[in-house]
């Protein structure tokens, strides 16, 4: 299996090189040159546990790591999860919540980043050298990425997060990590500013190569690939093809589901759920992709106006025409907006936006009716699911443990409604971070200190 860029100027890349490249060298995103067809395997795969299923799916995309080595990396990635089968299913009325937050940082990002950390370490052990990981987080990616590589030899990790725009516990999960290879950077700006700085630095190819930069954000194909697994696995737990409702800001999680559908897993359709930062919902309604002001909401991991993984979906929507993709994003970069000219004629997707009032109401009603405590992001998904009652069976993706957002959950349900001992233990621990302006030069200066 080889990989190519959505912008057409990078191709024939092996998987390990794709992992290390992160953002494609032409500024696009890497995708597989062919999408495997899994339909002949489905009946046999229904009987597999999660780890065994993941091993089979990943083998289809990774042919430059020996199967027994890859299988070991997958098993090691999920050994730290508290749920025996990695994921858990909870019935909440007529919706099934796919709980993905039973990893070390209590967020769905662990599913991918525990594996990515092992892949980085494996490749570096083979090739030698040092890797400086640069990432941006709107909440959960940072702590999950740090958990995946903390203390690993040959790796430093620099995580940018918007100052004051992640939950206090999310920040503590990053800044209390004592390992010397972890560097937390609070940026005086929004997550979009953080993400823009990261993409700009990766586009500076001489700098990227000199300082051996690696990516942990979902621009890295390995992130998306690990997420494809849980959509396929879940789809085989139903007698009838389910739909998925996905709370999303960066389009990475829902794009993984889209890839699972293209591979032939039985998935009926997707409900895309945004918060007030509704650039994706607006696109599916109008065909216009237009940057707006970033709104600070109860679901901060979705406070995003530029969805980095949207480019991968657009590549397929535009008939795999890399030239049209380049033109689209050149227009967007120059003007802050671009358009396909009409709403996408894609029956797979429904889309809706959920505000803070509806998020609170959903947390309250779901608890009252079903005894279930949802974090604000999952609540966005559950509210969106309730707007499409005819779309059943329906799986809502549960993205984070509610204890990560006590400011919201406790305000709605009462003090102590959202607690977890691992998070309680963080309070009062010493923290480490630096604060910088929303400047590419300021972040490059940090990376130069690591590399010089």
pLDDT surpasses 70 at 452 = no
Mean pLDDT of the chain: 96
pLDDT surpasses 90 at 366 = yes
Domains present along the chain, CATH in parentheses: 88-105+222-419 (3.40.50.1100)
Which tens digit of pLDDT belongs to each residue from 211-238? 999 999 889 999 999 999 999 999 999 9
* The predicted structure's pLDDT at residue 381: 98
Beta strand 270-274 pairing with 155-162: unpaired
Mean pLDDT of the region 154-161: 97
* The predicted structure's pLDDT at residue 157: 97
* The predicted structure's pLDDT at residue 138: 86
Task: Say if residues 346 and 356 touch (Cβ distance below 8 Å).
Answer: no
Give the percent of the chain with pLDDT over 90.
97
Mean pLDDT of the region 320-349: 96
Distance between CA 347 and CA 269 in Å, rounded? Answer: 8
Task: Say if residues 197 and 171 touch (Cβ distance below 8 Å).
Answer: no
The whole model's pTM is what? 0.95
pLDDT surpasses 90 at 143 = yes
Mean pLDDT of the region 81-104: 98
Distance between CA 177 and CA 339 in Å, rounded? Answer: 43
What pLDDT band is residue 140 in, cutting at 50, 70 and 90?
Answer: confident
Distance between CA 292 and CA 451 in Å, rounded? Answer: 36
Distance between CA 109 and CA 64 in Å, rounded? Answer: 25
Q: Give the distance from CA 132 to its chain's centroid.
A: 20
pLDDT surpasses 90 at 70 = yes
* The predicted structure's pLDDT at residue 451: 74
Distance between CA 378 and CA 97 in Å, rounded? Answer: 9
DSSP three-state, residue 271? strand
Task: Say if residues 5 and 184 touch (Cβ distance below 8 Å).
Answer: no
* The predicted structure's pLDDT at residue 347: 92
Tell me the angle at which helices 140-149 and 109-127 cross, rounded to the nearest 10 degrees: 40
Instruction: Give the 3-state secondary structure percentages of the chain, helix then strand then coil, rounded to 5.
Output: 45, 15, 40
What pLDDT band is residue 139 in, cutting at 50, 70 and 90?
Answer: confident
Which tens digit of pLDDT belongs to each residue from 380-432? 999 999 999 999 999 999 999 999 999 999 999 999 998 999 999 999 999 99
pLDDT surpasses 80 at 54 = yes
From residue 150, alpha-carbon distances to 44, 101, 147, 178, 265 in Å are 37, 19, 6, 9, 35
Residues involved in catalysis: 109
Give the percent of the chain with pLDDT over 70.
100
């Amino acid at each position: 299996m080889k990989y190519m860029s959505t912008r057409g100027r990078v191709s024939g890349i092996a998987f390990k090189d794709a992992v290390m490249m992160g953002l494609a060298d032409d500024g696009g995103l890497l995708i597989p040159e062919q999408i495997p067809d899994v339909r002949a395997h489905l009946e046999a795969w229904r009987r597999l546990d999660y780890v065994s299923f993941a091993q089979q799916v990943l083998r289809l995309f990774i042919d430059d790591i020996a199967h027994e080595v890859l299988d070991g990396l997958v098993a090691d990635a999920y050994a730290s999860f508290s749920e025996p089968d990695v994921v858990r299913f909870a019935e909440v009325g007529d919706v099934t919540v796919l709980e993905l937050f039973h990893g070390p940082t209590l967020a769905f990002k662990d599913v991918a980043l525990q594996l990515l950390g092992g892949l980085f370490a494996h490749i570096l052990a083979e090739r030698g050298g040092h890797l400086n990981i640069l990432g941006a987080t709107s909440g959960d990616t940072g702590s999950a990425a740090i958990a995946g590589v903390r203390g690993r030899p040959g790796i430093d990790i620099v995580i940018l997060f918007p100052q004051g725009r992640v939950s206090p516990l999310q920040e503590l999960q990053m800044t209390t990590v004592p390992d010397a290879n972890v560097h937390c950077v609070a940026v005086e700006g929004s997550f979009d500013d953080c993400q823009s700085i990261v993409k700009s630095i990766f586009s500076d190819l001489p700098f990227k190569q000199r300082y051996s930069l690696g990516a942990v954000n979902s621009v890295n194909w390995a992130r998306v690939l690990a997420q494809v697994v849980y959509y396929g696995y879940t789809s085989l737990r139903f007698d009838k093809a389910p739909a998925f409702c996905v709370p999303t800001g960066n389009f990475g999680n829902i794009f993984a589901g889209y890839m699972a559908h293209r591979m032939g897993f039985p998935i009926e359709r997707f409900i895309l759920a945004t918060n007030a930062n509704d650039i994706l919902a607006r696109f599916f309604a109008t065909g216009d992709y237009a940057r707006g002001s970033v709104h600070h909401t109860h679901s901060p991991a979705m406070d995003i106006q530029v969805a980095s993984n949207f480019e991968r979906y657009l590549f397929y929507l535009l008939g795999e025409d890399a030239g049209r993709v380049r033109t689209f994003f050149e227009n967007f970069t120059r003007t802050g907006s671009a358009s396909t000219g009409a709403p996408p004629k894609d029956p797979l997707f429904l889309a809706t936006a959920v505000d803070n009032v509806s998020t609170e109401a959903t947390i309250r009603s779901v608890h009252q009716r079903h005894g279930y405590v949802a974090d604000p992001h999952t609540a966005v998904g559950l509210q969106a699911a309730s707007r499409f009652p005819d779309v059943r069976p329906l799986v809502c993706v549960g993205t984070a443990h509610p204890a990560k957002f006590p400011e919201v959950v406790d305000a709605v349900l009462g003090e102590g409604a959202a607690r977890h001992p691992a998070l309680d233990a963080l309070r009062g621990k010493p923290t480490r971070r630096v604060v910088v302006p929303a400047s590419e030069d300021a972040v490059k200066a940090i990376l130069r200190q690591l590399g010089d």
